[in-house]
Amino acid sequence: MGGSIDEVAIFDRKLTGREINLLYQAGLLNWADDRHDDVLDGIAAIPESAFRHDDQADVLYERAERVRTMVELAIDISTPLLVRQYMVRGARLYLANQIQERTDGCMSAAGIPDRDDWVIDCTEQESLYDAIEAVLEPLDRL
């Protein structure tokens, strides 16, 4: 199949560069949304004993649900474009700053949980960290 991405044709007409870009963005958002299930499942699977404090599992899950809502709003084409862009940026920042920062100590050179980490079991932390990275990857491309 020859040609460049600028020559994509659907329904016997070539798509504009803007249409191709919108399809690319929609694909990345759907990818992030699909991978986000792994974050939610990962948090739910962590035993209470792996958290520094009892309530942190629920709070972390609620934060992950907020990210899911932001991504879903960004996917919804009835949401105004400016709001969709804000939701992508917000989801990325919230996931990185409110969730990943609570699960990243074991990934550091020291290899032990940080003082601000909520998940203190390194095995559980690593699994959740990887799931978060899989969501951040497509969001970082937008």
2 vs 7: CA distance, rounded Å: 9
Domain boundaries, the chain: 15-140
The pLDDT tens digits of the residues spanning 73-129 come to 888 878 888 888 899 899 999 999 999 999 998 988 888 999 999 999 999 999 999
Residue in the structure block whose two tokens are 């032990």: 112
What separation in angstroms does the CA of 47 have from each of 50, 59, 99, 134?
Answer: 6, 14, 17, 22
- pTM, two decimals, is 0.79
